[in-house]
């Protein structure tokens, strides 16, 4: 039996839980914990420069590794700074544990210095939260926090820790709880067999089927089984923005991703399908467009671990509550020895789809000429080639995010890292930092915009301290491009506050932090700059590229329309 | 349609705020809310009445079930059930209306539980409809104050909502 203070229990627990790196920022209420971390060397602490970055870095790590990220912040402003990152993780179902210092128990409720009711503030954006009431409960509460964060539909869990709970003078018995049980929490382990049979029968009878799969495939590590199922059936597949990479995008059956800025063929295929097999996706408004016009001829099979995602916005004909991996595997075994009822229909369906593919070919943007400014799409394609499609790619939010999603092709899951649900500008750079620190041998690229980058650029200092070699590709259009695009389309080009006057000289800025920055103004300068950028994988390089500010992201679904209603360029509409 | 949802909730700090927060966060409405500990000290029982079509009620029960503090729940309106609410009402009781109040109280099988020269305090239990009817009957005489507990309910027969 071991007697430890609350603070030492936290440090010990993190070790025993196998947490290698935590992201945080100290302050009064967390100092006992920081002292405990100082007196050990197994768990590494990364000191960020803003607590929001700690959450994004932990989140990036979680998305890339599939394991929960860990954050440590102090009370009050430390905790409130973390709120945006907690919401970001919540919206994308990312496992994360956020340890928040809190003022001492006897001060709670007295508006004490740096007191914020962080459990209250974060209530709608966490999977669950705990407040520690006695030091002796720390091991069990932390175990529950990690268990809840990582299982079922994952999500962030906040643990509020009043300062007296970690006092060095009070010691209690510490035992690492190998397992915990929560009586009201029993995530399903398999889907309903009868429903799965029904779904399989529908698949075999379908004439125009399409798979529509989401982040749930990535989170549950079901990519391999999904790929086997899709290959076995020969159906087309489209993923959500969050599901990119869960099926190899360079494979012929992939229609790439769907929705507002999704591919023409994916949106067309959805609209005309007679069967949609949705797995780990949630029919959100950026996918469905107008739900009353959504896929008029399709029956819908919907598999999800979270029953509340099923029939939330679009009614499912065959709902299946269960983990993607096990349901898919059950489908595969039920398919054994069985054949499509209308064998002639599938090739016809494919030729319709190939027709759509041909229709959009070369329509979406016009390449630049050697002496001209680059198109952002071209830059993404060039980065794709030089990294051979193998990089971890994070993004911020805006046009550059959509271009990155459209023109970088992912053949593996967990490589495409973007804030899909909340759309948080400022996410990309700290997320890239978190990934690079945990996967130092891999190439980590952050596509950003000059607007987004300025929201979290202080993390250059963190990268300096920890020698973090991320590659930052700034698609600099000198404007809040996505906002400007909406203003062009909906407000007669009245650009209310969507341009950024007085941008910093990024060269000097990056130089001030001791890193290399390169500038590309013309098409013909790109290749050499990319060579230089990716020459040394350990070096942070900031590549500032002037791109055409007039470019819009296409396709773009027409608001209130059906899936098939899209703008294909400034002049062409379906 | 109006639904009565009965919930067994962990008797933990913050649990109630999660339930209430869920309703406002997701734009569901709460008509009445009633909560108290049960015979098992670790559990509270909470009853909500809410209004919504089948789709909305399905979402409400699914989201409630997702809350870690919610141990079990039942939509009582799906089966036979008993619904009760308790109300305390202060009514003007002066002159001729004193007798009138007393008569109405008897008709409703309510009780006068406190008396002053000008005011009767009445206690009445029943389903929400009965309580509404009593308020209507008393309105012309003069209602001074109303305190209702909100609906509590339980299913009929052998069905049990327990651990
Ligand atoms: C924190 C935050 N604030 C505001 C927005 C709204 N928003 C979405 S895209 C965008 C413009 C982003 O500009 P930039 O980073 O330069 O990217 P671009 O669209 O130009 O590629 C804005 C302001 C947001 N998504 N996140
Ligand atoms: Mg921009």
Q: Can you tell me the ipTM of this complex?
A: 0.92
Peptide bond into A404 cis (omega under 30): no
Beta-bridged to residue A44, according to DSSP, are A21
Question: Within 13 Å, how many C-alpha atoms sit on residue A169's CB side?
Answer: 2
Classified as helix, coil or strand, A72 is strand
Ligand 1 center to A286 CA (angstroms) = 16
Evaluated on CA atoms A332, A336, A342, A346, the torsion sign reads: positive
* Number of other residues whose CB lies within 10 A of the CB of residue A294: 20
Q: Is A445 exposed, middle or buried (0-12, 13-18, 19+ CB in 10 A)?
A: buried
Torsion angle (degrees, nearest 10) of CA A13, A19, A23, A27: 10
Does B131 touch chain A if contact means CB atoms closer than 8 Å? no
Give me the count of residues in chain A: 574
Q: A387-403 pLDDT, tens per residue?
A: 999 999 999 999 999 99
pLDDT, position A361: 87
Q: Which residues of B touch A124 (CB under 8 A)?
A: 21, 25
User: Does the pLDDT at position A166 exceed 90?
Assistant: yes
Q: Which residues of B touch A131 (CB under 8 A)?
A: 13-14
Give the pLDDT band of residue A419 (cuts 50, 70, 90).
very high
Asked if A311 lies within 8 A of B21 by C-beta distance, the reply is no
The CA distance from A410 to A389, in Å, is 6
Tell which residue, A474, A467, A445, A462, has the closest CA to residue A538. A467
Whether ligand 1 lies within 6 angstroms of the CB of A428 is answered as no
User: Residues 6 or more apart from A571 whose CB is under 8 A from it?
Assistant: none
Asked if A307 lies within 8 A of B65 by C-beta distance, the reply is yes
Q: Which residues of A are catalytic?
A: 51, 113-114, 163, 482
Contact (Cβ atoms closer than 8 angstroms) between residue A5 and residue A163: no
Does B63 touch chain A if contact means CB atoms closer than 8 Å? yes
Asked if B71 lies within 8 A of A183 by C-beta distance, the reply is yes
Pick the residue from chain B with its C-alpha nearest to A154: B66
pLDDT, position A528: 98
End-to-end CA distance of chain A: 71
Asked if B68 lies within 8 A of A184 by C-beta distance, the reply is yes
The DSSP bridge pattern shows strands B119-126 and A21-25 to be unpaired
Q: A267-311 pLDDT, tens per residue?
A: 999 999 999 999 999 999 999 999 999 999 999 999 999 999 999
Q: A312-346 pLDDT, tens per residue?
A: 999 999 999 999 999 999 999 999 999 999 999 99
Asked if A148 lies within 8 A of B63 by C-beta distance, the reply is no
Return the axis-axis angle of helices A399-407 and A376-386, rounded to nearest 10°.
Answer: 40
Counting residues of chain A whose pLDDT is more than 90, the rounded percentage is 97
* Number of other residues whose CB lies within 10 A of the CB of residue A353: 20
Give the pLDDT band of residue A362 (cuts 50, 70, 90).
confident
User: Does the pLDDT at position A199 exceed 80?
Assistant: yes
The CA distance from A340 to B77, in Å, is 44
Q: Is B13 exposed, middle or buried (0-12, 13-18, 19+ CB in 10 A)?
A: exposed
The CA distance from B10 to B42, in Å, is 6
Contact (Cβ atoms closer than 8 angstroms) between residue A471 and residue A490: no
User: Residues 6 or more apart from A336 whose CB is under 8 A from it?
Assistant: none
For ligand 2, a single-atom ion, the residues with CB < 5 A are A 449, 451, 477, 481
Whether ligand 1 lies within 6 angstroms of the CB of A402 is answered as no
Average pLDDT score, chain A: 97
Q: In degrees rounded to 5, what are phi and psi of residue A192? A: -70, 120
Q: A3-33 pLDDT, tens per residue?
A: 999 999 999 999 999 999 999 999 999 999 9
Q: Which residues of B touch A123 (CB under 8 A)?
A: 14, 17-18, 21
* Number of other residues whose CB lies within 10 A of the CB of residue A286: 16
Contact (Cβ atoms closer than 8 angstroms) between residue A522 and residue A371: yes
Here the tokens at position A471 are 């590659």
The CA distance from A274 to B131, in Å, is 52
pLDDT, position A501: 82
Question: DSSP class of residue A207?
Answer: S
Domain with CATH 3.30.70.1150 in chain B: 82-152
Pick the residue from chain A with its C-alpha nearest to B42: A183
Min Cα distance A449 → chain B (Å) is 32
The CA distance from B137 to B118, in Å, is 19
Return the axis-axis angle of helices A6-16 and A138-150, rounded to nearest 10°.
Answer: 40
Does B10 touch chain A if contact means CB atoms closer than 8 Å? yes
Q: Which residue has the tokens 């740096």?
A: A114
Helix H or strand E encompassing A239: strand A237-239
**Starting from the edge strand earliest in sequence, which strands make up the sheet with B2-10, in order?**
B32-37, B43-51, B2-10, B70-75
The CA distance from B120 to A275, in Å, is 67
Min Cα distance A338 → chain B (Å) is 35
Asked if B14 lies within 8 A of A148 by C-beta distance, the reply is no
DSSP characters over chain B:
-EEEEEEEEE--TTHHHHHHHHHHHTT---SEEEEEE-SSTTEEEEEEEEE--HHHHHHHHHHHHHSTTEEEEEEGGGS-EEEEEEEEEEEE--THHHHHHHHHHHHTT-EEEEE-SSEEEEEEEE-HHHHHHHHHHHTTT-EEEEEE---EEEESTT-----
Give the pLDDT band of residue A70 (cuts 50, 70, 90).
very high
Domain with CATH 3.30.70.260 in chain B: 2-79
Q: What is the mean pLDDT of residues B106-110?
A: 97
* Number of other residues whose CB lies within 10 A of the CB of residue A560: 10
Q: What is the mean pLDDT of residues A193-214?
A: 98
User: Does the pLDDT at position A49 exceed 80?
Assistant: yes
The CA distance from A320 to A307, in Å, is 8
Q: Which of B11, B12, B17, B18 to mutate to test the interface with A (most CBs of A within 10 A)?
A: B18
Torsion region of B83: left, alpha or beta (phi above 0 gives left; psi -120 to 50 gives alpha): beta
pLDDT, position A157: 98
User: Residues 6 or more apart from B106 whose CB is under 8 A from it?
Assistant: none
Q: What is the mean pLDDT of residues A256-268?
A: 97
User: Does the pLDDT at position B13 exceed 90?
Assistant: no
Give the pLDDT band of residue A500 (cuts 50, 70, 90).
confident
Q: What is the mean pLDDT of residues A365-379?
A: 95
So what's the architecture of B2-79 in CATH?
A: 2-Layer Sandwich (3.30)
The CA distance from A423 to A398, in Å, is 8
Here the tokens at position A143 are 């175990």
Tell which residue, B163, B162, B100, B94, has the closest CA to residue B137. B100
Contact (Cβ atoms closer than 8 angstroms) between residue B137 and residue B130: no
User: Does the pLDDT at position B120 exceed 80?
Assistant: yes
Of the listed ranges A242-251, A324-333, A537-546, B90-99, the one predicted with least confidence? B90-99
pLDDT, position B163: 85
User: Does the pLDDT at position A462 exceed 80?
Assistant: yes
User: Does the pLDDT at position A1 exceed 80?
Assistant: no
Give the pLDDT band of residue A439 (cuts 50, 70, 90).
very high
pLDDT, position A499: 87
pLDDT, position A363: 84
pLDDT, position A564: 96
Pick the residue from chain A with its C-alpha nearest to B71: A184
Q: What is the mean pLDDT of residues A428-441?
A: 98
The CA distance from A545 to A62, in Å, is 30
Average pLDDT score, chain B: 96
Give the pLDDT band of residue A422 (cuts 50, 70, 90).
very high
User: Does the pLDDT at position A161 exceed 80?
Assistant: yes
Q: Which of A81, A451, A549 to mutate to test the pocket of ligand 1 (most atoms within 8 A of CB)?
A: A451
User: Residues 6 or more apart from B46 whose CB is under 8 A from it?
Assistant: B6, B7, B8, B9, B16, B19, B33, B34, B35
Domains in chain A, CATH or no CATH each: 3-173 (3.40.50.970), 193-360 (3.40.50.1220), 376-553 (3.40.50.970)
Tell which residue, A363, A381, A343, A344, has the closest CA to residue A265. A363
Q: What is the CATH number of domain B82-152?
A: 3.30.70.1150
Q: A230-240 pLDDT, tens per residue?
A: 999 999 999 99
The CA distance from A33 to A145, in Å, is 17
Min Cα distance A144 → chain B (Å) is 11
């Amino acid at each position: 039996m071991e007697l430890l203070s609350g603070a030492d229990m936290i440090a010990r627990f993190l070790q025993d839980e196998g947490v290698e790196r935590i992201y945080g920022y100290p302050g009064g209420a967390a100092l006992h914990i920081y002292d405990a971390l100082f007196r050990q060397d197994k768990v590494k602490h990364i000191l960020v420069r803003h607590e929001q970055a700690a959450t994004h870095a932990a989140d990036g790590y979680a998305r890339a590794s599939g394991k929960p990220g860990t954050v440590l912040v102090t009370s009050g402003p430390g905790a409130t700074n973390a709120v945006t990152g907690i919401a970001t993780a919540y919206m994308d179902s990312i496992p994360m544990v956020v340890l928040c210092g809190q003022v001492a128990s006897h001060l709670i409720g007295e508006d004490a210095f740096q007191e914020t009711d962080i459990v209250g503030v974060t209530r709608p954006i966490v999977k669950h939260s705990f407040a520690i009431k006695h030091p002796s409960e720390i091991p069990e509460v932390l175990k529950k926090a990690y268990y809840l964060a990582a299982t079922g539909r994952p999500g962030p869990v906040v643990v509020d820790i009043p300062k007296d709970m970690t006092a060095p003078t009070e010691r209690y018995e510490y035992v690492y709880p190998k397992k915990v049980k929560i009586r009201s929490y029993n995530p399903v382990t398999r889907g309903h067999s009868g429903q799965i049979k029904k779904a399989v029968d529908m698949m075999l009878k379908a004439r125009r089927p399409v798979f529509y799969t989401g982040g749930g495939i990535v989170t549950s590590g079901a990519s391999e089984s999904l790929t086997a199922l899709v290959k076995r059936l020969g159906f087309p597949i489209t993923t959500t923005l969050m599901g990119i990479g869960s099926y190899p995008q360079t494979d012929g059956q992939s229609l790439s991703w769907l929705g507002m800025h999704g591919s023409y063929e994916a949106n067309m295929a959805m609209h005309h399908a007679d069967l949609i097999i949705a797995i780990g996706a949630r029919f959100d408004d950026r996918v469905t467009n107008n739900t009353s016009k959504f896929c008029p001829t399709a029956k819908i099979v919907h598999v999800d671990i979270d029953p509340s995602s099923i029939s939330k916005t679009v009614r499912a004909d065959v709902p299946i509550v269960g983990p993607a991996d096990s349901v898919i595997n059950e489908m595969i075994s039920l398919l054994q020895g069985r054949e499509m009822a209308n064998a002639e229909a599938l090739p016809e369906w494919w030729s319709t789809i190939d027709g759509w593919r041909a229709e959009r070919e070369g329509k979406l943007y016009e390449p630049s000429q050697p002496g001209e400014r680059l198109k952002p799409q071209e830059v993404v394609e060039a980065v794709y080639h030089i990294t051979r499609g193998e990089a971890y790619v994070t993004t911020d939010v805006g046009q550059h995010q959509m271009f990155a999603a459209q023109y970088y092709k992912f053949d593996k899951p967990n490589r495409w890292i973007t804030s899909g649900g909340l759309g948080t500008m400022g996410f990309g750079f700290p997320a890239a930092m978190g990934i690079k620190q945990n996967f130092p041998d891999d190439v980590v690229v952050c596509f950003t915009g000059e607007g987004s980058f300025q929201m979290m650029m202080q993390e250059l200092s963190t990268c300096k301290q920890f020698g973090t070699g991320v590659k930052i590709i700034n698609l600099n259009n000198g404007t809040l491009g996505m906002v400007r695009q909406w203003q062009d389309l909906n407000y007669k080009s009245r650009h209310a506050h969507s341009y950024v006057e007085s941008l910093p000289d990024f060269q000097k800025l990056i130089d001030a932090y001791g890193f290399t920055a390169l500038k590309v103004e013309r098409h013909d300068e790109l290749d050499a700059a990319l060579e230089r950028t990716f020459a040394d994988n350990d070096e942070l390089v900031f590549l500032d590229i002037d791109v055409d500010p007039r470019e819009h992201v296409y396709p773009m679904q027409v608001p209130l329309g059906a899936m098939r209603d899209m703008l294909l360029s400034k002049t062409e509409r379906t | 349609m109006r639904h009565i949802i009965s919930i067994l909730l962990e008797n933990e700090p913050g649990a109630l705020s999660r339930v209430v927060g869920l309703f406002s966060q997701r734009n569901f409405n709460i008509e009445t809310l009633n909560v108290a500990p049960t015979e098992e000290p670790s559990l509270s029982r909470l009853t909500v009445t809410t209004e919504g079509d089948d789709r909305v009620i399905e979402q409400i029960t699914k989201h409630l079930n997702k809350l870690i503090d919610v141990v079990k729940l039942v939509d009582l309106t799906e089966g036979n059930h008993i619904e009760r609410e308790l109300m305390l009402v202060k009514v003007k009781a002066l002159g001729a209306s004193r007798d009138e109040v007393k008569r109405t109280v008897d008709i409703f099988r309510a009780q006068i539980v406190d008396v002053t020269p000008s005011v009767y305090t009445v206690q009445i239990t029943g389903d929400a409809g009965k309580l509404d009817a009593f308020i209507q009957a008393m309105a012309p005489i003069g209602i001074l104050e109303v305190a209702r507990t909100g609906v509590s309910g339980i299913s009929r027969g052998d069905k049990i909502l327990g651990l």
